[in-house]
Chains A and B, each alone.
Chain A
Amino acid sequence: AQKITQTQPGMFVQEKEAVTLDCTYDTSDPSYGLFWYKQPSSGEMIFLIYQGSYDQQNATEGRYSLNFQKARKSANLVISASQLGDSAMYFCAMREENSGYSTLTFGKGTMLLVSP
């Protein structure tokens, strides 16, 4: 079974609108961390936001926020006020306690295109 599932291969959004990128995860560990990364066309992997399994509040970082629904095992990324520069591939990832937090498992990614 996949540990991280991103069901949206591609998403389109107009500039200045908000967009939600879906991510569900599978783990039996009570302690884990969830991450989102951005990969623009230039290829680098950019860390965006982190959510811990015990965090009571949803994580926020500027225009990025994470809609964490623990019971549903979902960790959706919300980008507010989209900009053209947000066009990129977005990856959801998880680090689990049973691996000593050592490895990061990635989803397949969602391609986001922001149009003017």
Chain B
Amino acid sequence: DAGVIQSPRHEVTEMGQEVTLRCKPISGHNSLFWYRQTMMRGLELLIYFNNNVPIDDSGMPEDRFSAKMPNASFSTLKIQPSEPRDSAVYFCASSQLTGAASPLHFGNGTRLTVT
């Protein structure tokens, strides 16, 4: 059974460019999460979806960030325009919808570097 798949693994871009990160959750999982990890702030929840519907995007830093989930098997996180402070590892994770016992299963992350 494939895990959460993220692409690309690494992205290097220049300030001002648009960046799109992609995620395919585990089949049958109803919840999808985007996290950002930095040394200073640790793991931060950016946004999560239940049944493809965004539920809480209060963690999205600003309007430059947007996320979509057009169907149950695909999500994107877009940064436009990108800035050097956006440099981080971005994780996508998925889980079953209900139950405190459902762990989040993480992808391998996308390491973003904005120069």
Per-position 1/0 for B38-56, Cβ under 8 A of A: 0000110100101000011
Contact of A103 with B43 at beta-carbon distance under 8 Å, contacts A33-B101, A43-B109, A47-B104 already known: no
A47 to B111, CA, bound (A): 20
Number of interface residues of B (CB under 8 A): 25
Number of A-B contacts (CB under 8 A): 56
- Are B43's CB and A106's CB within 8 A? yes
Q: Does A102 contact B (CB under 8 A)?
A: yes
Q: Does B98 contact A (CB under 8 A)?
A: yes
Contact of A47 with B99 at beta-carbon distance under 8 Å, contacts A104-B33, A106-B42 already known: no
B-side binding surface: helix, strand, loop or mixed?
strand
List 8 additional contacts besides A47-B105, A97-B100; criterion CB under 8 Å: A35-B104, A37-B106, A43-B108, A52-B100, A102-B48, A102-B50, A102-B55, A102-B56
Residues of A within 8 A of B (CB): 31-33, 35, 37, 43-45, 47, 50, 52-53, 91, 95-97, 101-109
Residues of B within 8 A of A (CB): 31, 33, 42-43, 45, 48, 50, 55-56, 89, 91, 93, 98-109, 111
A-B contact pairs, 30 of them (CB 8 A): A33-B99, A35-B103, A43-B89, A43-B111, A44-B108, A44-B109, A45-B91, A45-B93, A45-B106, A47-B103, A47-B105, A50-B101, A52-B101, A53-B100, A91-B43, A96-B100, A97-B100, A101-B98, A101-B99, A101-B100, A102-B31, A102-B48, A103-B33, A103-B45, A103-B56, A104-B45, A104-B104, A105-B45, A106-B43, A108-B42
